[in-house]
Chains A and B, each alone.
Chain A
Amino acid sequence: MNTSDDNLADRVAIDEIISRHNGKPGSLLTMMEEMQETNEYKFLDSDAMSYLSAQTKTPLSQIYSVATFYSFFNLKPQGKHTIIVCRGTACHTKGSKVLLDDMSSLPGCKEALDAGENSFTTEDRLLTVKTVACFGQCALAPVVAVDGVIYSNVTSEQIKKILKNLQEGNKDENIRLR
């Protein structure tokens, strides 16, 4: 097992998470969620899952089962910013596919999503593009979430602007939740 120093920092944090939750019913989900938040790149890395398994005596296959069931969990390093495009029926009819296609300005993004991946991260780890089945905000379709903030009735023009702002580090107060 890898015991390099930067992993050790994680270990302390994971130990702390385990000590707060271990043994309580349904604690696995909470521990995994907090572990992912603790990770610099917001994902469940292999070592962390192995460590959790050993410390809580939870079989690795079960941890992986949970991690792959919930789309919330990431098994790959995530970008600094996350854009989530809703692909539910309402958003689809209101043009969410077009918004997704607008992401093709990011090299490799379209190919990854077309191949059935539900997430794509740019090589510089600046941006992650994901899809979800439904946000439950169908009246505001199409809906996009950027770093946890929901944007509604999003147009192609707006998403390109958001993308540009994220890439250039600009803040834009003109695109808000409507």
Chain B
Amino acid sequence: MEKKKIKVTIDGHPYEVGSGKTILEACNETGVMIPNLCYLKDVSQNASCGICVVEVKGAKTLVRSCVTGMREGMEIVTHSPQIDQARKTNLELILANHPKDCLVCERNGNCELQDLSAQLGIKEDAFPRTKPHMLPDDTSLALFRNPDKCILCGRCVAVCAEMQTVYAIDFTGRGLRSRIGTFQDKGLGNVACTSCGQCALVCPTAAIVERDETNEVFCDLYDNDKIVVVQTAPAIRVGVGEAMGMDEGALVTGQMVAALRKLGFDKVFDTQFTADLTIMEEGYELINRIKTGGTLPMVTSCSPGWIKFIEHFFPKSLDHLSTCKSPQQMFGAVAKTYYAEKMNIDPRKLVVVSIMPCTAKKFECKRPEMQSAFHYWKEKIGLAEHESFFDVDYVLTTRELAKMFKRKGIDFEHLKEEEFDKPLGISTGAGVIFGATGGVMEAAVRTAYEVLTGKPLEKIDLTAVRGFEGIREAELDIAGTKVKVAVAHTLKNARTLLEQIEEGKSPYAFIEVMTCPGGCLGGGGQPIPTTWAIRQKRADSIYKEDKLHAIRKSHENPAIKAIYEEFLVEPLGHKSHELLHTGYVERGIF
């Protein structure tokens, strides 16, 4: 249906714009950009900053264009001495309470407040600080909050509540003591926060950032005694290029591998290898559950924010989770057992670094149960308790990786493409699409169909589960059996499917859940900004990479066949249970 057009005047020129838009949106549509700060498309319109003010003919005062609807016949002025002065004063009032430590700030060079100050021509500290200093929140293993840098735009609160339905944070206090806080100021690490990091992704400043571990990784890279291997998640190859100044969604697999070698990693491996392994284990688990009358629907367990969400909010439904570890944790366990054994490396000297589009992975790798390799070796060669180590030592986000590339002076864009190391760098197209919402489902179907029917799958692309619709479903015909499956991204949509399960009304056998909008490619650790248009470009690159792979089904990956022959024996076997499967805890809300 054609949307009604309305006639308006912007800065003296007549325009026709679509109805039902705000002044800000309508002006942007015509190419007239209005400076703004707290507003973020599709996330939040809190109208707290007062930067987007414009003159509307007939209005007594300046109006905030982000929340005022454009109406027929409106006459808008977007720039005038009065408007410019108002914007400047409003920004100066925000800056009065913002630290001026840009040079040493996490977001230096990628900060909306910094950009806006330059844009509006701020030259001096106009007003003195009025707020008391507030203590940082370093309780979370994934995220770090610095309330002094917060400008109270409310984006984080909106994204946590509306997109994720987690409500970990809200405005607390009043007046000069207003701040974003958790229940009883316990800190993010001590409340029901899923560590998804969407708050960090939308924060205009450095008030919420990931816990930076780049220095620790540099230390280990320079330590000749240690063998440092890296695994990269599927979504990094469509994200890190952006952070290095390339086009949105640029597919940079080869450059990324080359750059990681330049950083000094001894081996550059791929999380997609263990994504393929996950499909084997999870696929067989699903088949097993269907055949033996196990708990259905089975829900994927790759997304650690989602895992923490269900542990906090739906502990009664934990049986529905696949017991498979996420690909990153499977990688850590396999690297420190299978690979270490194969290459005759002392597992205590092996350091596994993960590059993830995700902040929740930082939390996941420190879960106490993620020490399977240590227990394997403890039994095998009698390691002592004090020698314990985690399967994955460090998780860095895409943003942290880009910082390391820059610190090392790597000319990323012009690097010659290189290939992943063998054997843990060999993967298929099925592994790639783990990076997009619906990808795990599609990869699982590619394998499950062939395992169950013994026939090759004719149509490899399962387009019904692709795209960004919040919840998507499909009915599959596998050897005459009809199986209903569903895919959800964002925790709000996951909550809908879980409530269905708890009411006993879920018609599905298998559900894929990704915490972040768009799947991992829209993860909390991805480059800032991440918008829906950018997510789409990253998704396009993911599916392009899938098509480039000669092998597009996990069970056909030769390295996967080899690891079962040489080490694991069979899916769901004894070693798989020790190394690749896990359990969950009831957390509750607090």
Binding site for B on A (CB under 8 A): 46, 49-50, 53-54, 59-65, 68-71, 75, 116
Contacts and interface: CB of A to CB of B under 8 A. Distances in A.
Nearest to B172: A68
A64 B191 CA distance: 13
A80 B171 CA distance: 31
Contacts of B191: 60-61
Contact of A61 (B132, B173, B183): B183
Contacts of B173: 68-69
Contacts of A75: 184
Contacts of A68: 172-174, 181
5 smallest A-B Cβ distances: which pairs? Answer: A59-B167, A61-B170, A60-B183, A65-B170, A68-B172
Interface of B: 132, 161, 167-174, 181-184, 191-192, 589-590
B174 A60 contact: no
A64 B590 CA distance: 12
B167 A61 contact: yes
A65 B172 contact: yes
Contacts of A70: 174
Given A46-B184, A61-B182, A64-B181, A54 B167 contact: no
B464 to A, nearest CB: 34
Contact of A63 (B171, B174, B183, B590): B183
29 contacts: A49-B183, A50-B590, A59-B161, A59-B167, A59-B170, A60-B167, A60-B589, A60-B590, A61-B167, A61-B170, A61-B172, A61-B181, A61-B183, A61-B191, A63-B183, A64-B170, A64-B172, A64-B183, A64-B184, A65-B172, A68-B172, A68-B173, A68-B174, A68-B181, A69-B171, A69-B172, A69-B174, A70-B174, A71-B174
Interface of A is mostly: helix
Nearest to A60: B183
A62 B170 contact: yes
A50 B172 CA distance: 17
Contacts of A59: 161, 167, 170
A57 B226 CA distance: 50
A53 B590 CA distance: 10
Nearest to A62: B170
Contacts of B590: 50, 60
A58 to B, nearest CB: 9
A65 B171 contact: yes
Contacts of B167: 59-62
Contacts of A46: 184
